[in-house]
């Protein structure tokens, strides 16, 4: 197992108070897995919370102890990067419902001594944010200099400004939306049905050594397509064949793109829990910041003093620029201080995780303006 002296790897805290969930349920003895990096200023003013995407985790800039792979956002977070431990106290937590140290369906229910499985309460993005707020309470962080996230992390970042407007000075929301569209929900439903159709799923009560890997892999394959762009797939694979000169007239992975997707599916099941996938996709499907305001998104941000930076990528069809513009329109209508830019990239939704000097420049300038 790699050691990373910069981070307190695998930090965990059990929240002292139960979480009251949006569904009305109550969750006691909630665990939160997190990492911190850098030093909190004496006035506590340099804390930045990083929110991860659907299948991310708290290992944002240090090696993941489970896979040994580098942190998922080392391009953005680290020495000399826009989010820099030399200037910032960086907090990254695994979301509620996750499977990387925070309470989720794979956790043991203290009431029964067995994994929650499908008895875990259905959670929402707001519940994830509340768990993060409780973690910050534990860490003694009253206000955040910024909340930064992409994709589902961007939803949490936006929701932070709505749920705790006094605690957030700035929000960076990248490749994200203020609601899940019908198409977003549709793709998630395909993934969930693939998991639940796997006989090993057993109503969510699967054996620890026999999880529904086939279903989860298909879910990941379908989702992975939505993270890329048609142009990106064409450039990377085209119709090229995998280790052969001609099609096999069979159902092997003849094409490179098939082989690639199968690999994505298989490597995913080694690091992710199938029930967690159900719960977290459900949380994003339920996400709609305008819903409590009769569909008026601006009302969600009324009187906000938070600064916002919204970034979209032109080839992202999962959370397209139109959804980012909807957020910006609402923030303008709420008289908020908002910046918005659409960056060019061939990489689709995944662009925010890849090398993007423009993204780094925008985030760096935006964060420094608040320091």
Distance CA 131, CA 357 (A): 32
Shortest separation between residue 344's beta carbon and other proteins, angstroms: 7
Nearer Cβ to other proteins, position 158 or 221?
Answer: 158
Binding range to other proteins, per CB under 8 A, among 99-107, 142-150, 277-285, 333-341: 333-341
Binding range to other proteins, per CB under 8 A, among 70-78, 225-233, 236-244, 329-337: 329-337
Phi, psi of 316 (to 5 degrees): -80, 110
Q: Does 344 bind other proteins (CB under 8 A)?
A: yes
Q: Does 368 bind other proteins (CB under 8 A)?
A: yes
Choose, by CB under 8 A, the member of 340, 345, 352, 353 that binds other proteins.
340
Q: Is 193 exposed, middle or buried (0-12, 13-18, 19+ CB in 10 A)?
A: middle
Choose, by CB under 8 A, the member of 309, 318, 351, 353 that binds other proteins.
309
Contacts to other proteins from residues 220-279, by CB under 8 A? none
Choose, by CB under 8 A, the member of 161, 343, 351, 353 that binds other proteins.
343
Shortest separation between residue 309's beta carbon and other proteins, angstroms: 7
Q: What is the DSSP string of 264-323?
A: HHHHHHTT--HHHHHHHHHHHHT-BTTGGGTT-HHHHTTT---EEEEEEETT--SS-HHH
Kind and range of the H or E run holding 224 = helix 213-227
Residue tagged active-site, from 254, 316, 345, 356 = 316
Q: Does 282 bind other proteins (CB under 8 A)?
A: no
Rounded to 10°, the helix 213-227/256-269 angle is 120
Q: Does 341 bind other proteins (CB under 8 A)?
A: yes
Choose, by CB under 8 A, the member of 147, 278, 338, 351 that binds other proteins.
338
Assess whether 349 carries a catalytic annotation. yes
Nearest to 280 by CA among 56, 114, 13: 56
Choose, by CB under 8 A, the member of 14, 335, 354, 355 that binds other proteins.
335
Q: Does 66 bind other proteins (CB under 8 A)?
A: no
Q: Does 355 bind other proteins (CB under 8 A)?
A: no
Q: Does 332 bind other proteins (CB under 8 A)?
A: yes
Q: Is 11 helix (H, G, I), strand (E, B) or coil?
A: strand
Neighbouring residues of 302: CB distance < 8 A, sequence distance ≥ 6: 334
Shortest separation between residue 199's beta carbon and other proteins, angstroms: 49
Q: Which residue has the tokens 């780094």?
A: 360
Q: Does 307 bind other proteins (CB under 8 A)?
A: yes
Nearer Cβ to other proteins, position 131 or 173?
Answer: 173
Phi, psi of 229 (to 5 degrees): -120, 160
Shortest separation between residue 298's beta carbon and other proteins, angstroms: 9
Distance CA 219, CA 273 (A): 12
Quick check: 161 and 171 in contact, CB under 8 A? yes
Q: Does 299 bind other proteins (CB under 8 A)?
A: no
Phi, psi of 264 (to 5 degrees): -60, -45
Rounded to 10°, the helix 182-197/213-227 angle is 160
What is the binding site for other proteins (CB under 8 A)? Answer: 307, 309, 325, 328-329, 332-333, 335, 337-344, 358, 361-362, 364-366, 368-370
Catalytic residues: 151, 316, 349
């Amino acid at each position: 197992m790699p050691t990373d002296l910069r981070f307190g790897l695998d930090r965990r805290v059990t929240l002292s108070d139960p979480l009251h969930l949006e569904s009305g349920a109550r969750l006691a003895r909630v665990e939160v897995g997190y990492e911190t990096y850098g030093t909190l200023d004496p006035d506590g003013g340099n804390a930045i919370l990083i929110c991860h995407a659907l299948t991310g985790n708290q290992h944002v800039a240090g090696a993941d102890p489970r896979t040994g792979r580098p942190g998922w956002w080392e391009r953005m977070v680290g020495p000399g990067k826009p989010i820099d431990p030399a200037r910032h106290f960086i907090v990254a937590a695994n979301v509620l419902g996750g499977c990387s140290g925070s309470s989720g369906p794979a956790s043991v229910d203290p009431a029964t001594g067995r994994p929650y499985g499908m008895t875990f309460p259905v959670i929402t993005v707001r519940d994830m944010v509340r768990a993060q707020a409780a973690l910050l309470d534990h860490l003694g962080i009253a206000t955040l200099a910024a909340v930064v996230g992409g994709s589902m992390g961007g939803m949490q970042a936006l929701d932070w400004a709505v749920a705790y407007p006094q605690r957030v000075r700035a929000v960076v929301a990248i490749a994200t939306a203020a609601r899940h569209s019908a198409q977003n929900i549709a793709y998630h439903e395909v993934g969930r049905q693939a998991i639940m159709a796997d006989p090993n799923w057993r109503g969510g009560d699967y054996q620890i050594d026999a999880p529904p890997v086939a279903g989860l892999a298909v879910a990941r394959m379908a989702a992975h397509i939505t993270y890329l762009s048609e142009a990106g797939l064409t450039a990377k694979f085209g119709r090229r064949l995998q280790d052969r000169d001609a099609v096999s007239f069979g159902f092997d992975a003849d094409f490179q793109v098939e082989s690639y997707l199968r690999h994505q599916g298989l490597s995913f099941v080694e690091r992710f829990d199938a029930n967690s996938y159900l719960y977290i996709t459900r949380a994003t499907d339920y996400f709609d910041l305008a819903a409590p305001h009769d569909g008026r998104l601006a009302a969600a941000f009324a009187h906000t003093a938070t600064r916002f930076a919204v970034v979209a990528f032109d080839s992202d069809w999962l959370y397209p620029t139109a959804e980012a513009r909807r957020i910006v329109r609402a923030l303008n209508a709420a008289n908020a201080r908002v910046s918005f830019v659409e960056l060019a990239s061939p990489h689709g939704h995944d662009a925010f995780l890849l090398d993007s000097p423009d993204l780094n420049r925008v985030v760096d300038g935006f964060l420094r303006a608040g320091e």
